[in-house]
Amino acid sequence: MKQIRKINKILIGALMLVVIFSLDSCLKNSKYYTDFASVGASVDLPLAAANNNSPVAFAYDASITSVSIPFYINLASPKTLGTPVTATFALDTAFFNSYNDANGDAYSLMPDSVYTIINGWNRTIAPGHRLDSMYVKFDFTKMDLSQSYILPITIKSASVPIEQWNHLMINPSVKNKYDGNYNLQISTVGWGAYGIADGGSNNWGPISLVTSGGSSVIFNGAGTGGGQVAFAADGSGTYFGATEPQFTFDPVTNKLISVKNLAAPDSRNRAFQINPAVTDSRFDPDTHKVYLAYIMTQNTRPPQYIYDTLTYVGPR
């Protein structure tokens, strides 16, 4: 009986080997079979591949002043190689300009004063490995936080072919707690010349508060171009002025401590100041609402007293 069991085991094992070799033969003869062993080695940028060569956002809190980020080059091959693979990174300004032109010039090329290449542009993937990285250090204290910058990187040359996923556009941004998209309600005093009754209320939105410093934001009115105060003065969609208010808050108490017109001086010599009669201009961290009371003065006209209530919609 034991001998019969032993023979059965041998027969079953032999049958399994026949099935395995048969399936392997079928797969190799199938029209869907690909012999990856014959595929050559190449290099690409994994982040570029994961994002289809589109901008890759890195968002940081405004308390962060600098950060170092590794950007990897990848060996794409069925197996690792026994020899080193060398490659050289470079700025990818041609691809950036083409992308930016096709997307309404939404980005600016990052100034070289903002970033430092820590370990050099030349990289080597060691034998038996797939990855190497270039480290880039960003100094946010030297960056205009209200702008959207791109650092474009490409593989300029390599000892093996370069894949199409070779355009890495890095888009670091810094945002403080006041930054975001809001709906705006304005009440005014002294605006009779602009079709707004004193004490009247006008809804306007959305608008954005755009980080310009650790605790300051630029008021960006929708529908009027960058940085303009905008509201429907008489229901017809008119707006007032080409101003660019910057609001600065106390980061601890969240109270408004200053407001100024970054677009000044202009032909009307517009200027802003905090309304001294209102002591509760502030950001409310619980509701994420912003309450602003300030005064605008300009040539030959009486002061306009502006009261803004900004209701948070979501991140910018």
**Cβ count within 10 A of residue 233:** 19
**Cβ count within 10 A of residue 27:** 10
Which residues of the chain carry a pLDDT beneath 50?
1-24, 27, 33, 36, 191-199, 222-240
Is 122 among the domain residues?
yes
> What is the model's pLDDT at position 180?
93
Convert the pLDDT of each residue in 62-88 to its tens digit.
989 999 999 999 999 999 999 999 999
Per DSSP, which regions of the chain are E strands? 42-44, 55-61, 66-76, 85-91, 108-109, 115-117, 122-125, 131-139, 149-158, 167-175, 180-189, 201-211, 216-221, 245-249, 256-261, 271-274, 282-284, 289-298, 301-314
Is 36 among the domain residues?
no
Q: Do 167 and 50 form a contact (C-beta atoms < 8 A)? A: no
The residue out of 160, 175, 190 marking a domain boundary is: 175
| Same domain flag for 90 and 150 | yes
| Same domain flag for 195 and 286 | yes
Q: Which residue has the tokens 């970054």?
A: 262
DSSP string computed for 132-152? EEEEEEEEGGGS-TTS-EEEE
Number of domains in the chain: 2
Q: Model pTM greater than 0.95?
A: no
Distance between CA atoms of 184 and 92, rounded to whole angstroms?
40
Distance between CA atoms of 211 and 201, rounded to whole angstroms?
27
Is 20 among the domain residues?
no
CATH classification of the domain holding 133: 2.60.40.1740
CATH classification of the domain holding 308: 2.40.128
| Same domain flag for 260 and 201 | yes
| Same domain flag for 197 and 86 | no
- Letter for the amino acid at 151? L
| Same domain flag for 243 and 139 | no
Q: Which range marks the domain in which residue 72 is found?
A: 42-175
Strands 55-61 and 167-175: parallel
> What is the model's pLDDT at position 10?
41
